[in-house]
Amino acid sequence: MSTQAASPVVASGGVAVGGARHVAIIMDGNGRWAKKRFLPRLAGHRAGIEAVRRTITAAGEIGLQALTLYAFSSENWRRPATEVSDLMGLLGHYLRREIDALDRNNVQLRLIGEWRKFEADLVNQLLEACERLSKNDGLIVTLALNYGAQDELVRAMRKLAEEARAGAIDPETIDTQAIEARLDTADLPPLDLVIRTSGESRLSNFLLWQAAYAELLFTETLWPDFDRAALESALECFVQRERRFGGL
């Protein structure tokens, strides 16, 4: 799809239209992409990093406000130790290689999940990247790292319980807004669209609260093959859906 052609998702100034501000992606299919090519899984993860770069660039050019990527789930620790180590190494490599381009493109970087449980060197690298990009005011890229939505909700409930025990909040006043304010995503716009690649049709413990009224799109495209055309196609599907939020 030509990025210059008239599109229902891209305005003439390059700003996304149709109401989609925040898109989240479950980046699935690296292993299957590699297997189809008789390559090691690491090759699939490396190709997946290139898809991340393409998608962030496209999201910024299209005019999305926020892009959240499921980069490492709390369940991914169950994978072989060598693969986990490879994924951590690729994350560090990506930050080193792309930080200048992210800064030039006015990208902000946010992190959600229990990412501080990674090794100290990687934690410091993540903190430094967030600090360097903190003055930017363009696309908000959020990496979900060591993230699980059920864990996020448990942590939010614990915060509320501790505040109630300390007398800082009346339990009778706890509502959806109080919970949302204590989620990892509290400073992000409401979630509009969740995309999952590779043909799987489940959320896999990703943004369960936030996705309550988000549109869901499942595509057969493997993550390493995802590109601007795939993102625009997903946004075109979003534009055509009628969002009633429980109303008529």
Tell me what the mean pLDDT of segment 226-241 comes to: 94
| 3-class SS shares of the chain: helix, strand, coil, % to 5 | 45, 15, 40
Are 91 and 122 in contact by the 8 Å Cβ rule? The answer is yes
pLDDT tens for 82-102 read 999 999 999 999 999 999 999
Tell me what the mean pLDDT of segment 148-174 comes to: 97
Catalytic annotation on 121? no
Annotated binding site for Mg(2+): 28, 215
Separation in Å, CA 194 to CA 35, 66, 126, 129, 212: 26, 12, 24, 25, 11
The CATH class, in words, for 22-148+190-240 is alpha beta
Are 205 and 153 in contact by the 8 Å Cβ rule? The answer is no
Q: How confident is the model at residue 241 (pLDDT cuts 50, 70, 90)?
A: confident
pLDDT tens for 25-66 read 999 999 999 999 999 999 999 999 999 999 999 999 999 999
* Cα pseudo-dihedral 190, 193, 197, 203, rounded to 10: 60
Residue partners of 216: CB distance under 8 A and separation at least 6:
193, 194, 196, 203
Catalytic annotation on 28? yes
The pLDDT of residue 19 is 74
Annotated binding site for substrate: 29-33, 41, 45, 73-75, 77, 79, 196, 202-204
**Domain locations in the chain as residue ranges:** 22-148+190-240
